[in-house]
Chains A and B, each alone.
Chain A
Amino acid sequence: MADTAKLPADSFKPMSADDRAALDSEKIAAPSLTFMQDAWRRLKKNKGAWVSLILLALIFLFAFGSAVVSPHDPNQVHPEYANLPSKIPGIGINGFNGTLVQAGQRIDAYKQARATGAHYLMGTDYLGRDLLSRVLYGTRISLIIALVATLFDLTIGVTYGIFSGWKGGRVDTFMQRVIEIILSIPNLVVIVLLILILKPGMLSIIIAIALTSWTNMARLVRAQTLEIKEQEYILAARTLGESSLKIAFKHLLPNLSSVIIINTMFTIPSAIFFEATLSYIGIGISSPQASLGTLLNDGQKNFQFLPYQMWWPALVLCIIMLAFNLLGDGLRDAFDPRTKE
């Protein structure tokens, strides 16, 4: 032991400024990021997802803001202004200047209706209701239905998945059989049956969609739970005597969050799609309430002569679906960088 201490004194020297600089270059200057911060940073790099996020924020703002400030009352009927095409001030392109092809000739529909002072950005429907206000109103209803249904679906699916995965064994097998049986009936059939029993309306659509679409979430959450369950920190928590409920909330849920968030982004558009389909068939939202589906149904009847009445709601519906899908893709890449090429 004593040998090692016999180093000559000149083998040591104080650090020079250069050496110190070299040491500094090894230092990690950037603050360490949490998982969510890291995901957020990656999401911002994804152009499609970023644009979608902004678009969705705007759509939400306008759809819910229109409950307070709306260009017109969505239910105010103006028979004299019926079927006016869209007119955006300052734009002269046919289709946006208030003109319409009638009997082979392009005429100014606003002049004909003696509404020269008025301009409806998306035009009016067959009762003279402002289409923009109705589209905003319909978007709001569609979004509310989708969000509430997704919230329910989230609660049922996540609880079911965690329980099934955590319990394992017979309980798990049985619970998975139940899901398989539910999955072997087409969703829309079940939704239609449920709506018939509950009587058509907003609430029954929400319940019907929530009751049928949780299976996917439950399966994903279960698979992930099975994996996480085997981790050491869960074992540690159990050894320390933590209750199952507390482990579920403190350890499982945070680690499942990315799976849950990603799947939610795909559940919302599918709920919007189901609602639109139901309203389109005629068993969804009934008037005077409107949703994107009923607007599409109304617009489709006159599509040959007044195409804008279907184009506008169709456009909004497609943008919402597109944005949610792109955002979902972006979030998947952001949360799981391994999948990125």
Chain B
Amino acid sequence: MAKYLAKRIFYLILTLFIVITVTFFLMKLLPGTPLTNQAKLSQSQIALIYKQYGLDKPEWQQYLIYLAGAVKGDFGTSFQFSDQPVSYLLSSRIGPSLQIGLQAMVVGVVLGILIGAIGAMRQNTWVDTTTTVVSILGISIPSFVLAVLLQYYLGLKAQLFPIAEWGGFIYTVLPTLALGATPLAESARFVRTEMVDVLSSDYIELAKAKGLSRMGVIYHHALRNSLIPLITIVGPLAVNIMTGSMVVENIFSIPGIGEQFVKSVLTNDYPTIMDLTIIYSFMLCVVLLFTDILYGIADPRIRLTGKAN
């Protein structure tokens, strides 16, 4: 286990190093300059600004400086907001994104498990059909369409929730729903398929024959065994939420990193884009590592050390 963990952490660092390197040199290829009014500036002014941000040095030096800074958690200064270190700019924005992302994941997966389990228990009835329709709709409707509809009907028309901005918990409800739809649908589908499979296995028959109550069979035997494989889709779901958050945060004007990413992209704020890419990769790596370990614990049949090949 310790050996496996060390190996995985080594790969995590390697991945981040590659991500940093690739994004750094990709950014250098980007067209356009970070200066808004380049035409109005004199040659010496441009030189001064470049010097201030360290852009006058050769690229390999910039890269080493950046790498050394990244290790210490210093990702340079934002071009868009002068004098604001990127790490400071983003540290206040990670909170809202994490909150909404986690809420969406938890709400989505928990409801998804429930819906999937109910569908499997009432297999081939109208209940099952309804749950299937719900899950296929959840997968097919893009989160940004859902976000706008929720904002309009639940926010503006019904006045149930604030339509935008960031305040207390009530402000997180609509974005959570918009982002949670896909995890809900995916996990409902997944749990249903798994559980239908499990319900027809011999040990379920045995449990029934022992005289266990219906709920006992479902809870202790069917549900538990159906949930283990669900861990494997947590990683892809996290990606989905990250992707969705970029648009959904914009729609609800939530001061999160997704909104900042879109903003930075539109203003050529390279240091912020780079840092955000690294943050996203780091979060995803951690989620993947976490789910792999969890899977090994939940299902002893999978030996972590054997997974390397």
A238-273 vs B: 1/0 string, CB under 8 Å? 000000000000000000000000000000010001
How far is it, in angstroms, between the C-alpha of A199 and the C-alpha of B29 when the chains are bound? 11
Is B26 among interface residues, defined by CB-CB distance under 8 A?
yes
Give the segment of A106-114, A159-167, A186-194 that binds chain B: A186-194
Is B261 among interface residues, defined by CB-CB distance under 8 A?
yes
Are A277 and B136 touching (Cβ within 8 A)?
Answer: no
Min Cβ gap B15→A in Å is: 5
Are B140 and A185 touching (Cβ within 8 A)?
Answer: no
A287-321 vs B: 1/0 string, CB under 8 Å? 00000000010001001100100100010011001
Are B239 and A303 touching (Cβ within 8 A)?
Answer: no
Q: For chain B, residues 236 to 256, give those with C-beta under 8 angstroms from any C-beta of chain A.
A: 239, 242-243, 246-247, 250
Is B277 among interface residues, defined by CB-CB distance under 8 A?
yes
Are A310 and B148 touching (Cβ within 8 A)?
Answer: yes
Q: For chain B, residues 74 to 88, give those with C-beta under 8 angstroms from any C-beta of chain A.
A: none
Residues of B within 8 A of A296 (CB): 144-145
How far is it, in angstroms, between the C-alpha of A27 and the C-alpha of B93 when the chains are bound? 73
Pick the most buried of A196, A273, A282, A310: most chain B CB atoms within 10 A of its CB.
A196
Residues of B within 8 A of A325 (CB): 136, 139-140
Are A173 and B309 touching (Cβ within 8 A)?
Answer: yes
Are A277 and B281 touching (Cβ within 8 A)?
Answer: no
Are B152 and A184 touching (Cβ within 8 A)?
Answer: no
B134-154 vs A: 1/0 string, CB under 8 Å? 001101111011001000100
Are A322 and B136 touching (Cβ within 8 A)?
Answer: yes
Is A15 among interface residues, defined by CB-CB distance under 8 A?
no
Residues of B within 8 A of A283 (CB): 265-266
Is B300 among interface residues, defined by CB-CB distance under 8 A?
no
Residues of A within 8 A of B262 (CB): 281-282
Are A317 and B142 touching (Cβ within 8 A)?
Answer: yes
Min Cβ gap B123→A in Å is: 7
How far is it, in angstroms, between the C-alpha of A280 and the C-alpha of B68 when the chains are bound? 37
Is B23 among interface residues, defined by CB-CB distance under 8 A?
yes
Q: A193-B273, A318-B145 are in contact. Are A186 and B284 (CB under 8 A)?
A: yes
**Contact sample, A vs B, 30 pairs, CB 8 Å cutoff:** A173-B308, A181-B15, A184-B15, A184-B19, A184-B281, A185-B19, A185-B281, A185-B284, A189-B276, A193-B277, A197-B30, A197-B31, A277-B246, A280-B144, A280-B247, A281-B250, A282-B262, A296-B144, A296-B145, A300-B148, A303-B152, A304-B156, A318-B137, A318-B140, A318-B141, A321-B142, A322-B137, A325-B140, A329-B136, A341-B196
Q: Residues of B with Cβ closer than 8 Å to A?
A: 11, 14-15, 18-19, 23, 26, 29-31, 123, 136-137, 139-142, 144-145, 148, 152, 156, 196, 200, 239, 242-243, 246-247, 250, 261-262, 265-266, 273, 276-277, 280-281, 284-285, 288, 308-309
